[in-house]
Structure 1
Amino acid sequence: MSDTASPRDQSRIPDKPVPPEAIKAIPVRHYGRWLGAAVVIALLAMLVWAFAGADINWGVVGEYLDRGTIVEGALKTLWISVLSMLLGLVLGLLLAVMRLSKNPVLASVSWAYIWFFRGTPVLVQLFLWFNLSFVFETVNLGFYKDEMNDFMTPFLAALLGLGLNEAAYMAEIARAGILSVDSGQTEAAQALGMNGSKTMRRIVLPQAMRVIIPPTGNEFINMLKTSSLAYAIQYGELFQAGRTIYSRNLAVMELLIVVSAWYLLLTTVFSIGQYYLERYYAKGVDRTPPPTPLQRVRAQLTHFRVRSEVGR
């Protein structure tokens, strides 16, 4: 049989295959998202327009933003918040360890502390400390003796009221972080000859910080705002400073806007710090740490640019 195909057979051989055309991807239109965004923008525009047209002297707002009394109040707010948070953190860790102790007395005392301070309002606790002279007329520490009215200043009452209340919440946060560490870690440490306190400091707490840090940051930001309750016992924090000024010049709304702007500034700064702290402690778990805010903005801009080019 001849290897060459006849002209008739050659006519049956198909031509060279033509490659398929490139697929033109058409992005899915999410009309609901755009509609929702339009509604939100419209509501925000209405809110801005309402404030812009209201009887608010914005010149007064700008005048008092950096006024010494307001800045001093903001610094006092920051100071009492930091000290109260430190007191709450240290005491909260101690209460968490007591709560997990096998000693029934320590566990019961810790439970009772948390029950009381979580079950009563912060404002009531502030007044309890500030009016402690109704129960104890003098304070006698052996090396120090004074009238309770002179000893229990607004600053000390605010520190005790905010810090001891915060300790109850930090105790539960720390307890959850400690329980999140696998029990095998403790058993391995004990097998190596570590005692209980050393195991807690060297093994358990460093691993628990990954769980403890995020809610702790939220608690501190909440503390910045809760510290405004200290105005009720005449502690000169930020809100009290604004309240003192508008009681004289009657610019109530203007001073409230100034105070709100300072609270927003403080909470924003510490929110950014909290984010980077969480990112640091997530290194041991996430191989790729979460993007920073700047990286997220760049990613969104790149994504928007790509979608625009595809749409064309």
Structure 2
Amino acid sequence: MESLPELLRARPVPRPGRWVSAAVVLVLAAMAVNALVTNPAFRWDTVWLYLRDVIVVRGVMWTLVLTFGSMAIAVVLAILLAVMRRGDNPVMKSVAWFYIWFFRGTPIYTQLVFWGLISVLYPRLSLGVPFGPEFFVFTTRDVITAFWAALLGLALNEAAYLAEIVRAGLSSVDPGQAEAARALGMKDGKILRRVVLPQAMRVIVPPTGNETISMLKTTSLVIAVPFTLELTYATSAIGSRTYQPIPLLVVAALWYLLITSLLMVGQHFLERHYGRGFDGGRTGRRAGRAPGAGPGGRGRLSRQQAIGAAGTTKDDPFLEVTP
């Protein structure tokens, strides 16, 4: 009787470089933490004191208002610009291209400076017929305050970048989707809202999330307007008054890190929501499990679930349907 072959005893391949590199990284991280904690110049007691200061918290609130307000305006403008660039009207395409070219080609700080000087450049604003009678006249200083100048400056600049992101997302959708919806009698506006945009969100959301995080930090430049209530200016003013600029810079950095972390969490859930069906079959549940399946990933689909998943139940030897 022939003896059975001896079983192979596999051993993991030794990787000493991996452990050495991990040890080096841990040592460097420990040194960085030690340098932060033990350095008296950071004045951590002052950091903790001003982290909850009323002026600092108010600066955080104004920073959030500028961030989300400018992003909301920018998203609306970006969709309009992207649609204009994708349209057939040469005038609209040219206007959208010029807008994107101008606002992407000039620094945001320079644009904010001009917004701060808007009342000097145009002391009065009017509505009426060009080169004709004026129906309404406004004083620019009364209408466009420092806050509105900062908000509009940030929004108009951001819209140019988001327009290209939205255009790329719309281009990622198969044209056959719009053609099928048009064949069903849907109007172009409804096709955009109900068919194209929901599918394009998978491409639009990740870079838009990055732009939102970038906008959060760009608000520190509105001092060029000047708008003096946001976080960076508030902490800098306190640091100059107390002759402790470093601890107050740390306060601002900690608040920015906290808000950025929350935005990243929100971005993660948005990406997972709009990425359903595009991530290798995972739809929010564990891969390999059908809705209503047991812990082992096996189960029987109901008739409605089977029809919705397969489209038909006829002549499918792999589909088990409950009556």
Give me the TM-score of the superposition, normalised by structure 1: 0.83
Instruction: Kindly state the Cα deviation for residue 72 of structure 1 after the two structures are TM-superposed.
Output: 0.7
Task: Indicate the structure with greater helix content.
Answer: 1
Q: Deviations over 1:39-59 (max 9, x none)?
A: 222222222222233222110
Pairing of 1:212-223 with structure 2 (within 5 A): 212-223=204-215
Contact 1:114 1:169 (C-alpha < 8 Å) held by counterparts: yes
Instruction: Kindly state the Cα deviation for residue 26 of structure 1 after the two structures are TM-superposed.
Output: 1.9
Cα distance in 2 for residues equivalent to 1:198 and 1:146: 38
Contact 2:60 2:231 (C-alpha < 8 Å) held by counterparts: yes
| Counterpart position of 2:20 | 35
Contact 1:129 1:152 (C-alpha < 8 Å) held by counterparts: no
SS in structure 2 at match of 1:242: helix
Instruction: Kindly state the Cα deviation for residue 29 of structure 1 after the two structures are TM-superposed.
Output: 2.4
SS in structure 1 at match of 2:88: coil
Task: Give runs of ≥4 in structure 1 deviating > 6 Å.
Answer: none
Contact 1:210 1:278 (C-alpha < 8 Å) held by counterparts: yes
Cα distance in 2 for residues equivalent to 1:145 and 1:268: 45
Farther-moved stretch of structure 1 (257-266 vs 202-211): 202-211
Q: Deviations over 1:190-244 (max 9, x none)?
A: 2122222222122111111111111111111111111111133133111011011
SS in structure 2 at match of 1:236: coil
- Candidates 231, 235, 239, aligned match of 1:238: 231
Contact 2:228 2:234 (C-alpha < 8 Å) held by counterparts: no
Farther-moved stretch of structure 1 (186-195 vs 120-129): 186-195
How many residues align structurally?
277
Cα distance in 2 for residues equivalent to 1:184 and 1:25: 52
Instruction: Kindly state the Cα deviation for residue 144 of structure 1 after the two structures are TM-superposed.
Output: 6.2
Q: Deviations over 1:231-281 (max 9, x none)?
A: 331331110110110110011110000100000000000100100110011
Q: Are residues 1:48 and 2:33 paired? A: yes
Query: 1:34 and 1:192, CA in 2 relative to 1: closer, same or farther beyond 3 A?
Result: same
| Counterpart position of 2:248 | 255
Q: Are residues 1:227 and 2:219 paired? A: yes
In the alignment, structure 1 segments of 5+ residues that lack a partner are 1-13, 293-312
Cα distance in 1 for residues equivalent to 2:98 and 2:219: 24
Query: 1:63 and 1:122, CA in 2 relative to 1: closer, same or farther beyond 3 A?
Result: same
| Counterpart position of 2:153 | 161
| Counterpart position of 2:271 | 278
| Counterpart position of 2:304 | none
Percent identity, aligned pairs only? 49
Cα RMSD (Å): 2.0
Query: 1:163 and 1:43, CA in 2 relative to 1: closer, same or farther beyond 3 A?
Result: same
Pairing of 1:38-187 with structure 2 (within 5 A): 38-54=23-39, 55-141=41-127, 145-187=137-179
SS in structure 2 at match of 1:116: helix
Equivalent position amino acid for 1:185 in 2: Q
Q: Deviations over 1:157-176 (max 9, x none)?
A: 11111100110011000000
Query: 1:58 and 1:165, CA in 2 relative to 1: closer, same or farther beyond 3 A?
Result: same
Farther-moved stretch of structure 1 (131-140 vs 40-49): 40-49
Asked which structure has the greater RCO (Cα within 8 Å, sep 6+), the reply is 1
Q: Deviations over 1:144-191 (max 9, x none)?
A: 644323332221111111100110011000000000001111111121
SS in structure 2 at match of 1:140: strand
